[in-house]
Amino acid sequence: MDWILIWEIVYSVLLVFVCLKAIYDTGSNTKALAYVLSIIFLPFVGMVFYFVFGTNYRKRKIYSRKLLADDNQSKKLEAAIQRKSLSIIEGGNETVQLHKGIARLLLKENMSPLTGGNKVELLINGELKFPRVLEVLKAARHHIHMEYYIYEDDEIGRTIEEVLKQKAREGVEVRLIYDDFGSRSIRKKLVPRLKEAGVQAYPFYEIIFLAFANRLNYRNHRKIIVVDGRIGFIGGINVSDGYVNPSKAEKLRQRKRKRFWRDSHVSIEGAGVHYLQHLFLCDWNFCAGQTIAPNGDYFPRLNGNTGPEGKYVQIAASGPDSDNPTILFSLLQAIHQASHELLITTPYFIPEQAVIDALSIASLSGIKVKLLVPGKSDSRIVNAAARSFYGELLDVGVDIYLYQKGFIHAKTLVADKSLSIIGSANMDYRSFDLNFEANAIIYDEAFGAELAKSFYEDLEGAVKLDAFQWERRFWLQKLLEKTVRLIAPLL
């Protein structure tokens, strides 16, 4: 009996300590409550879960983002970026003027420059992305830098592998960063083949057994390619056959119907690529343990296109290493600055309360808000959590569409057919707080109109939710969704 009493006292003290730690270390009240509930109602398991997934790396930086070791040199570069970007902000087109709040935010938070004169191409699905990527990779002269969450050892993965090995043999510097969890299928065979051919390849935040849990939770979700510091790619499409939809003839030959995969990516040619290069080199120096100093080979002087086709581009990036959830802030700013229309596509909709409030305010203010999400997610739990948010948005007039043609994996936002955001970040807690993410922001009416057109074409393969019918769903289903929502911050 004495041992039982001692054990109960020890457990009670430990329980109180872990709960207080979760409350103290967690910035979000909602997330803190979710951790506390799991700690209390799941004995020991909840505590383990908190220590695995709950460490606040926004306070305990995983790594420094400094690219230049010399502080004086860094300050001079930052001052030059500030001057140039502020000049472009003040002298930019009408879209830049309307959304200068976002431009200033990213300049201050990320030191991400606003650049003009870029050529931007929208790439719908892997069918358009991969041929363009292969074309650019084959033309590389100095370096190829690739950073991916998922890289698979399949047909498209091996096709790109052969190009990378050939370019390395030609003397081109080829570097690959792969997420050690998302790209685990390439560790044993594909990566050694690349290294044997002279390609430098490193996992980002390698998963080591003793640190397995924490490292598993913090993932590099970026999809970045930079070639010769001149052309770059960013978006939601990983390197995998799953992102390429087979033609009708191929489907007949295979005699199986793969679910249609809808995704979006962009290629950028111009100075807008330089911040992608900055992100890559910071990540590379961290995971490879090297110190690659920036120079003219990696950041060449580029003559921007000053004609009407030249576009203003800025990159938003955030992760556990950033002081604030910059991507979340940029999305909120885009929502707040919209004047008549917001078109949002996301595969995983488990938003912060601030996002729900922003969308509600926009809709109640007369702004047409349309949200496109998967009809059926690739995760039942995530799908249930997402569905728990729909009712309150429908009540304030937000139009919600469930994609039926297949699975929609694109992460895009178009405000007033002029400001466009496209990248790797989902509209969920994980992308805002835990993952390393990157989005491209394009301040341009022509591109905004093109992305909006793509959005409306996607609506043809979707069904619109009816607020009345949604409210009349079986009460048990709604209870289940709201119960799952309690752990939404942990998904």
How many residues would you count in the chain? 491
Closest CA to 266 of 55, 120, 471, 459: 120
DSSP assigned state of 209: G
Q: Report the candidate in 125, 133, 122, 121 with the shortest Cα–Cα distance to residue 157.
A: 133
Give the CA distances from residue 279 to residues 37, 66, 220, 285, 324, in Å, rounded to whole numbers and listed in that order.
Answer: 37, 10, 12, 10, 16
Alpha helices in 365-444 (DSSP H): 380-395, 429
Helices of type H across 181-293: 190-196, 212-217, 248-254, 273-288
Positions marked active-site: 221, 223, 228, 409, 411, 416
C-alpha to C-alpha distance for 322 and 307, rounded to whole angstroms: 35
Which tokens go with 391?
């009712």
CB atoms < 10 A from the CB of 72, how many?
8
CA distances from 99 to 187, 234, 291, 314, 380 (A): 43, 21, 36, 12, 37
Backbone angles phi, psi at 91, to 5 degrees: -110, 10
Q: What is the DSSP letter of 436?
A: B
